[in-house]
Chain A
Amino acid sequence: DTGVSQDPRHKITKRGQNVTFRCDPISEHNRLYWYRQTLGQGPEFLTYFQNEAQLEKSRLLSDRFSAERPKGSFSTLEIQRTEQGDSAMYLCASSEKQGAVGGYTFGSGTRLTVV
């Protein structure tokens, strides 16, 4: 297992288009997280899955955002009707049952640019 994989690495889209990102966590990790990092800021929590259940969503996650983790394996994050303010690095992380205590393993992120 080579770690957490995210696809694509970069995405440029026109305002108003829909985009979908994929995250493949470490296979034995049952917890998965999405964070967003804008320029000059630290990562901000978006949402958290334990297996296939989405247990928490941040208020940052507007109705245009939806995340899924079917079968408790990979996860997708979809943004509908993208806006320029959605431009950011979207980070996925996974962990074992200890949560943050055991330390997250982060992917390299998907950089979204909305033009």
Chain B
Amino acid sequence: AQSVTQLDSQVPVFEEAPVELRCNYSSSVSVYLFWYVQYPNQGLQLLLKYLSGSTLVESINGFEAEFNKSQTSFHLRKPSVHISDTAEYFCAVSRGGGGSNYKLTFGKGTLLTVNP
């Protein structure tokens, strides 16, 4: 079984500041890793994912995450945030490889609040 720990429930930052949202996972097998974002009153949207290959993955809106196998982490970073990045961010893990990789295990979420 897999588990995910998001170390911060809330992260307040000022606009244009850098931010890091932390995520650690636990698994006895290989995993796929995901970050989802949930804006108010909307469903979760996939932000980025790590499946294999380069450990640094990027999204189209400036976020990036780095898979660190030795530290079992997948932290999300952005060098300069905007007010519109205010949302809840969920880290998730699924079993890697074929078979039962359909099921996601989510962390509790981190509420990112960007203040002017």
Report A's interface with B, CB cutoff 8 A. 3-4, 31, 33, 35, 40-45, 48, 56, 91, 93, 95, 99-101, 103-109
Contact = CB atoms under 8 A, between A and B. Distances in A.
Interface in B9-43: 9, 32, 34, 36, 41-43
B102 A33 contact: yes
B56 interface: no
B103 A48 contact: yes
Interface of B: 4, 6, 9, 32, 34, 36, 41-46, 49, 51, 90, 92, 94, 100-109
A70 B102 CA distance: 20
Contacts of A40: 9, 108
Given A45-B104, A48-B102, 19 more contacts: A3-B43, A33-B102, A33-B103, A41-B108, A41-B109, A42-B6, A42-B106, A42-B107, A42-B108, A43-B44, A44-B106, A56-B100, A93-B44, A101-B49, A105-B43, A106-B43, A106-B44, A106-B45, A108-B43
Given A100-B94, A101-B51, A103-B34, A45 B103 contact: yes
Nearest to A111: B41
B41 A99 contact: no
Contacts of B107: 42
B34 A100 contact: yes
Contacts of B92: 42
B110 to A, nearest CB: 10
Nearest to A3: B43
